[in-house]
Amino acid sequence: MTFDSAPLPASWASAQKSYIQFLKLEKGLSPHSVDAYRRDVLKLANYIASCQPVPSPSELTARHLEDFVHRLHALELARTSQARIVSGIKSFCQFLVLEQFLLHDPSALIEAPILTRKIPDVLTIEEIEAMLAEIDLSQPFGQRDRAMVEVLYACGLRVSELTGLRLADLFLEIGFVKVIGKNNKERIVPIGGEATKHLEYYLTDIRQHQHPKKEAGHIVFLNHRGGRLSRVMVFMLIRSLAAKAGIHKTVSPHTFRHSFATHLVEGGADLRAVQEMLGHESITTTEIYSHLDMRYLRETILQFHPANRPPSSTG
C-alpha cells in the first residue's frame, strides 16, 4: 500500500483543511513545514479510506493508528521517515482534540520507532582558538570574519540566525543579543566580552565605512559588495579556517553551536538554560549534550583515574 491511491473522504478533507489553516495562522509554520504535515495527514486519511467501515475524524481510535503504524513498518520506510510521519499524526490528533472533534487523544500511547542519535562532533577550546588565530586581521574583512566566528561560538547561533542578525538585535551595552530563530521565534542570548569587543571593532572599523545595499542596510554582517552574507560564504570560511588550523574533524558553522552547548554543559550549566539559549522547543533535543558531557566525563576518568593507569615497571 502506498497511501496515495484511495479517495479522500469528505469529512477528512474538511478536517485537513482546518488543520492546515491552524498550522499556517496559529502556529505560523513555514510553507515547507505545512506541506510536510499535510502529506502526513493525507497518508493517514488514505489509509482510513481503506477501512471498513470508514471512520470519520471524530471516530478515530488508537487501534486505527496502531494499524496505520504497522502498515508504515511493513512498507520498510526508513525509521526516520516513520518517526516523522508518526510525529505529524500526533500533531493532527492534538489538533482534533483542541477543536473538539475528539474527547481524548488516540495517539497518546502510539510510539514512533526509536532512533539512534548520532552524537555530533564538537571542537575543543584549543581548536576554536587555533581557528581564530588563522584569521588575518590585516585583511579588509578579517575583522568581520573574526567577529562572525566569535558570535557563532559565544551565542550558539544557527548559520541562518547569524546571517540574519540585525543591527536592532544588538544590545551590546547590556551584553545581550536578540535572535530570530525557527518559525520567527525570538530569544535573548547573552554575549560575552570577547565577542562583543570584536563585534564592536567590526561595526566601527569596517561596516561603518561600507555602503550597504538598501535591502541589507539593517543587517549586521555584510559581504564586500554591501549585501547580505550567504550561508555558503560562512560555510566556506569555517571550513577554510579548520583546514588552516590542521583540524581533521568535519567542521561547519553548526559545529560551533554544538561546541557552545557542550562547553556550557561541561561547565555545569543547567540543561533548561541551554535549551532556552539554543531555542529548542523540546528539552529532548537539548539532552544530547548531556550525553556528550557523559562521554567527556568517561574519557576524563579513563585518562586520569589512578585505577586506569598502566602498571608501573618493576624493572
Catalytic sites, residue numbers = 158, 182, 254, 257, 280, 289
Strand, coil or helix: what is 219? strand
Strand, coil or helix: what is 251? coil
Q: Side chain identity at 117, as an amino acid letter?
A: R
Question: Judging by DSSP bridges, how do beta strands 186-190 and 176-180 pair with one another?
Answer: antiparallel
130 Cα distance to chain centroid: 26
How far, in Å, are 124, 154, 195, 247 from residue 264 at the CA level?
12, 10, 16, 22
Q: Side chain identity at 311, as an amino acid letter?
A: P
Q: CA 278 to CA 264: how far, in whole Å?
A: 11
Which three three-digit cell numbers place residue 115? 532512533
Q: Side chain identity at 287, as an amino acid letter?
A: E
- Whether the Cβ atoms of residue 232 and residue 160 lie closer than 8 Å to each other: no
In 3D space, the residue among 150, 162, 158, 146 whose CA is nearest the CA of residue 254 turns out to be: 158
11 Cα distance to chain centroid: 35
226 Cα distance to chain centroid: 28
In eight-state DSSP terms, residue 218 is T
Identify the bridge partners of residue 219 per DSSP, sorted by sequence position.
Answer: 166
**In degrees rounded to 5, what are phi and psi of residue 60?**
-65, 135
